[in-house]
Amino acid sequence: MKKKLLTITGLLALSIVMLAIAAPSIIHALGMHPDYNGPIYKLPGKKALIIATNHGVLNKPGEKTGDPSGVMASEFTHPYYGFLDAGMDVDIASIKGGKIPVDPQTLGRMVITPEDKRYLDDPVLRGKIKNSIKIDDLDFTQYDAIFIAGGWGAAYDLGYSEKLGEKISEAYFAKRPIIGSVCHGALGLIKAKDDDGNLIIAGRKITGVSDKQVKELGIDVTPMHPETELRKAGALYENQTAFRDMFATHVVVDDEKRFVTGQNQNSGHVTAHRMMEIISKLPEAPSPEKGKSAE
């Protein structure tokens, strides 16, 4: 009997170990960070800007302490390496400049991606994240792609920044940059306005992380929730759902093909590549004649 119990215990222990080893693959198969199998674009000479949060604590507004948070790793690594591998020059910026906190949980064994691991071994990108450029110091109109990353930290600063709203507005009316976001990064779009004070995303198809996903994850202390705020701004919010929305994914291109938005952490690859698809089809601006300035 004792031998039988030891055998059963050993088998149970082995099963638990095997399940633990297989867990990341199981989560991936359920829909977390799906592989990108679409077209690959080459855009040498083009420029991209990725914007992320400066807020690194998950807490109630006004509180000083809480669990470490920030940008979700894959929400900047996937677009960054997508743009970089296409031959684009890529800058990293934030509201205040300086350090962009990376949510440590998003680099954990269960959810880490090949691009995240590439980041950990990439001193150039690590340096850009540690010393990001302040958005005030950049001319957004000089970029071909502007991508706003999310993560829980983004709920505390992106949607409150009047300066980011002004910069996105300038980029939109310059007609050059394609503007993208993923997950909570969509909050960076809600203050962009035209000259009459109308919100630019009103009446436009946009996505961001769903209220359902926020509720399922039990993280409701953040001051802004993308679906709620996008609907308030008059955007035509849309999303896909799953038995848990963290396993869903969706990418939306507005009718004007100026805004490309991804629903959540699973959508970064496709969002960046859909942006590059649009950029690849844009006509090249004519160079000014020698001795004449461009109009």
Q: Confirm whether 34 is domain-assigned.
A: no
Average pLDDT estimate for 237-262? 98
pLDDT of res. 286: 53
Domain residue limits at 55: 44-281
pLDDT digits (tens, 9 = 90+) for 131-156: 999 999 999 999 999 999 999 999 99
- Worst-scoring range by mean pLDDT, 11-20, 83-92, 130-139, 264-273? 11-20
CB 251 within 8 A of CB 207: yes
| Number of continuous H segments (helices) and E segments (strands) in the chain | 9, 11
Q: In the structure, what pLDDT confidence band is assigned to residue 3 with cuts at 50, 70 and 90?
A: low
- Residue in the structure block whose two tokens are 């399922």: 216
CB 226 within 8 A of CB 209: yes
Radius of gyration of the chain (CA): 21
Q: Which residue(s) pair with 219 in the sheet?
A: none
pLDDT of res. 62: 82
Question: Measured between alpha carbons, how far is 76 from 91 in angstroms, rounded to an integer?
Answer: 11
pLDDT of res. 101: 98
More confident residue, 295 or 48: 48
Which secondary-structure segment (H or E) carries 259?
A: strand 259-262
Tokens found for residue 212: 């359902």
pLDDT of res. 64: 81
pLDDT of res. 287: 47
pLDDT of res. 59: 93
CB 103 within 8 A of CB 153: yes
pLDDT of res. 292: 40
pTM of this prediction?
0.91
- Residue in the structure block whose two tokens are 């995240």: 116
Question: Measured between alpha carbons, how far is 9 from 12 in angstroms, rounded to an integer?
Answer: 5
Q: Which of 108, 91, 96 lies closest to 56, judged by CA? A: 96
- Worst-scoring range by mean pLDDT, 3-7, 190-194, 196-200, 244-248? 3-7
pLDDT of res. 15: 47
Q: Confirm whether 3 is domain-assigned.
A: no
- CATH number of the domain encompassing residue 65: 3.40.50.880
Q: How many domains does the chain have?
A: 1
Q: Confirm whether 1 is domain-assigned.
A: no
Average pLDDT estimate for 286-295? 41
- Look over the chain and give the mean of its residue pLDDT values, rounded to a whole number: 91
- Output the CA–CA distances (angstroms, integers) from residue 70 to 75, 102, 137, 150, in the order listed: 11, 5, 22, 8
Q: In the structure, what pLDDT confidence band is assigned to residue 283 with cuts at 50, 70 and 90?
A: confident
Average pLDDT estimate for 71-75? 98
pLDDT at position 233 over 90:
yes
Q: Confirm whether 9 is domain-assigned.
A: no
Q: Confirm whether 157 is domain-assigned.
A: yes
pLDDT of res. 179: 98
pLDDT of res. 63: 86
What percent of the chain clears pLDDT 90, i.e. is strictly above it? 84
